[in-house]
Structure 1
Amino acid sequence: MPLEMFDESTGTHIVYIKNQNAPADMWLIHGFTECSESLQGVFETSIAQQFNIFIPDLPGFGKSCFEDKYLDLKNVITLLEQLITTYSSEKPLIILGHSLGATIATHLTANLLTRSENVIFFINVEGMLVEDKIDARSITKANDYENATEFVEYMYSRLKEGAESNPSLNRYLENIKKSDPNIVHAWAKSSTEMLAGNHIDSIYDRLACKNLYVHGEHTMSRLELENLKKVDYERVIIKGAGHWPMLEQADEFWRVVGELLGGRIFNY
């Protein structure tokens, strides 16, 4: 059973499990408007019996506190670095991020590697790598709106329209309803700035650790899929899944991740 802790110095709620003699620590970073709950399926797998696992709620989501400095995603990345330094000092690291959490985790992994932290594997799940002004996931329109509430209303209307043909988007709709519009607007703008000029893609391409891109068969972004094919990144497609493969095809997703961790990292 996973445990919970609250990091008083940062106001961060973390769900975790520890195993004696675990060969590595695994940090999972949730997506936009999500919380740790979206990734807690890992605790029902054999992965949770092999590794130390930490899933923080990002600021303003789940049970974590929020400060204005976290309107800038760069400070969220710094927060995650601080938490990893505190709880996983000198341990081999596996980083898994989903959606916006994967975009954040791409930067995070690069920063950790720069500091000589021992990141041995990065798993990017449906993360944004390229600037997308045509087939955008709506968040890239954030800079067109000065008012946070108006932007969220735009997001909601666009997602509601998309949910008519893709019912899985109803999860996104429900999350948007529960989220602080100011955080949603700020993070959308901040992520757009991070993606400008395909900067995240360049970072991902240069990561000095094993990495893998995982996405659903029905991925949300056409441009992202075209880029993956063009640059020929190593990737795994989860059949029958969309943007949330760890929920929509949970058994298959965690089986794939478990096999990767067991066979590709420690059994050379």
Structure 2
Amino acid sequence: MPRAVAPRTGRVPMLTAPHHLIEATRGQQVFARHYTGAEDLAPLLLIHGLGESGLCFEEIVGHPLLALRPRLVPDLPGYGRSPWPERALPLSEQVELLAAWIAEHCSRPPILVGHSMGGVIGQLLAEAHPESVAALVDVDGNLCSEDCTFSGRAVASDFDLFVDRNFRRLLERVYEDGLQQPALRGYYASLRLAQPETYYLNSRELVELSASGKLARRLAALEMPVLYIAGSPGGASEESVAQLARAGVRRVKIAPSGHWPFIDQPADFAEVLAAFLAEVGL
């Protein structure tokens, strides 16, 4: 794959300030960051992972290789700064909410960039509404049971115990681990805003989907351009990488990196993403 050239100057400054909006879609309020760009370019829609928020993408949304196109960064209901829903929303409803949100805010099909759970949501959205997706970039999205780190911990207890006690313990563990792992510091900040009920429900769904062993083959069956970006050595599991290879999914490793390659190696991540989009004509 051709690699675009990016300046290697460490942290890249934001080039455009976002518009922060809380918008009602299908009766649910969604907080989103809107970054302006050329209307003739397909927008990027960045979908965060389990317990995360759109803040996790701040390292890359202003990168010069990506800043020319519109960028949309919502916080999913139950996460980040979006108001908590009256009941926890399953992944299927998150997908339909995003599809409606795309119809309202995108003049053309966006490029989905989904991280972790966001990769799974992006895949489900691309399956259900292929006409609404120009391309899918799955970043360390769940593919097998070995990928269920935080979700697996959550469902190790029952719902009531997790909501009443174990969610707080999860917060404490992420805080302690974040003393040595910078990416987890940002995760902790977002995790504090997450609705425990939504976190548990989505964790259970991720564990079930990952255990099926079918996600890599389903990813390969999508009709739009697909790229899987794996953090290495601390990101996607070896089994997931092997499943991608067997299914014939285009994949790139970013190293050295953990589960958040766009935080650990933002310049490399932007290069890989920009090169892929150029190659597929977007």
Counterpart in the other structure of 2:115: 98
| Structure 1 residues 244-255: aligned runs within 5 Å | 244-255=260-271
What is the rounded CA distance, in whole Å, between the counterparts of 1:157 and 1:20 in structure 2?
42
Counterpart in the other structure of 2:167: 152
Q: 2:137 pairs with 123, 131, 147, which one?
A: 123
Does structure 1 conserve the Cα–Cα contact (< 8 Å) formed by 2:138 and 2:228?
yes
Counterpart in the other structure of 2:3: none
Deviation string 1:87-121 (CA, Å, 9 cap, x unpaired) is 125x13211100111111110111121xx33x231
Does structure 1 conserve the Cα–Cα contact (< 8 Å) formed by 2:48 and 2:116?
yes
Is residue 211 of structure 1 aligned with residue 223 of structure 2?
A: no
Which amino acid in structure 2 is aligned with residue 15 of structure 1? R
Unaligned runs of 5+ in 1: none
Aligned-partner SS, 1:61: coil
Is residue 227 of structure 1 aligned with residue 243 of structure 2?
A: yes
What is the rounded CA distance, in whole Å, between the counterparts of 1:192 and 1:47 in structure 2?
35
Aligned-partner SS, 1:43: coil
Give the alignment's TM-score, normalised by structure 2: 0.80
Aligned-partner SS, 1:86: helix
Counterpart in the other structure of 2:5: none
Aligned-partner SS, 1:265: coil
| Structure 1 residues 1-268: aligned runs within 5 Å | 1=16, 2-9=18-25, 10-89=28-107, 91-113=108-130, 116-117=131-132, 119-130=133-144, 132=145, 136-146=148-158, 147-149=161-163, 150-152=165-167, 155=170, 168-169=183-184, 171-173=186-188, 175-220=190-235, 221-266=237-282
Aligned-partner SS, 1:15: strand
Unaligned runs of 5+ in 2: 1-15
Structure with a larger share of its residues in helix? 1
What is the rounded CA distance, in whole Å, between the counterparts of 1:22 and 1:157 in structure 2?
45
Alignment size in residue pairs = 260
Distance 1:166 1:230, change over 3 A: farther
Aligned-partner SS, 2:51: coil
Shift of 1:193: 2.9
Does structure 2 conserve the Cα–Cα contact (< 8 Å) formed by 1:219 and 1:225?
no
Distance 1:158 1:224, change over 3 A: farther
Does structure 2 conserve the Cα–Cα contact (< 8 Å) formed by 1:69 and 1:75?
no
Does structure 2 conserve the Cα–Cα contact (< 8 Å) formed by 1:77 and 1:108?
yes
Which amino acid in structure 2 is aligned with residue 201 of structure 1? A
Give the alignment's TM-score, normalised by structure 1: 0.83
Which amino acid in structure 2 is aligned with residue 40 of structure 1? E
Point out which structure has higher relative CO (alpha carbons under 8 A, 6+ apart): 2
